[in-house]
């Protein structure tokens, strides 16, 4: 895999965590993402990725040594951006548990709406990741989940939330937010910010928040 392409994607700075501009993945990752969305990972060939990227097959292999390495890069890009935005959301405002919980939910929903395609592939094609790539994905997913789980446990311990099953509640909330990438469409009735506001209310009820 090309070190240059990797650094361009993963080291690109993120401004306001609520702002989402176009995702500059470069031609190969952009082409592959479109192919994976249309045909699935296993239904996509390197030739199709090359055609979608405007490159030759050797041109693709110059940057990535396999189709799997392309999927791995897309996955790591998605998980990295979500992590950076989540950290920024948690730090952006009041530090009480309820406020941080609300901002994290908003961040999760906005990401899975605005970054619908790469988020969907990262979620749905985990079964196609192998070896170290799969292990790293599971580790990144666990780290991300722990942000929410820790807030729910903290809220239940302090009385801000009332829930007899905090671990299950945290997992259910994550599944609900991740699921936005499966159904959200840009021509839908609600904008991402409106969806995030509604999901925040739903998630508050899930954990038993008092407000």
- SS3 string, 136-179, reads HHHHHHHHHHHHHHHHHHHHHHHCCECCCCHHHHHHHHHHHHHC
Q: In this predicted structure, what is the pLDDT of residue 2?
A: 42
The answer on pLDDT for 128 being more than 70 is yes
pLDDT band at 15 (very low <50, low <70, confident <90, very high): confident
Q: In this predicted structure, what is the pLDDT of residue 76?
A: 96
The pTM of this model reads 0.92
Query: 75 with 137: CB under 8 angstroms?
Result: yes
Q: In this predicted structure, what is the pLDDT of residue 180?
A: 98
């Amino acid at each position: 895999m090309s070190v240059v392409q990797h650094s361009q994607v993963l080291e690109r700075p993120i401004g306001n965590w609520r702002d989402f501009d176009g995702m500059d993945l470069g031609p190969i990752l952009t082409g592959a993402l479109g192919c994976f969305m249309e045909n699935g990972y296993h239904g996509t060939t390197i030739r199709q990725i090359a055609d979608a990227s405007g490159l030759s097959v050797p041109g693709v292999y110059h940057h990535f040594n396999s189709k799997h390495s392309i999927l791995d890069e897309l996955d790591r890009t998605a998980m990295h951006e979500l992590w950076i935005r989540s950290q920024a959301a948690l730090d952006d405002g009041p530090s009480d548990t309820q406020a941080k919980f609300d901002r994290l939910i908003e961040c999760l929903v906005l990401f899975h709406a605005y970054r619908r395609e790469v988020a969907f592939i990262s979620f749905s094609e985990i079964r196609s990741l192998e070896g170290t790539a799969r292990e790293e994905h599971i580790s990144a997913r666990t780290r991300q989940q722990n942000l929410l789980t820790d807030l729910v446990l903290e809220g239940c311990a302090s009385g801000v939330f009332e829930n007899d099953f905090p671990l299950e509640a945290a997992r259910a909330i994550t599944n609900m937010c991740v699921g936005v990438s499966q159904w959200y469409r840009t021509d839908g009735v609600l904008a991402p910010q409106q969806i995030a506001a509604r999901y925040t209310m739903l998630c508050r009820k899930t954990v038993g928040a008092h407000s």
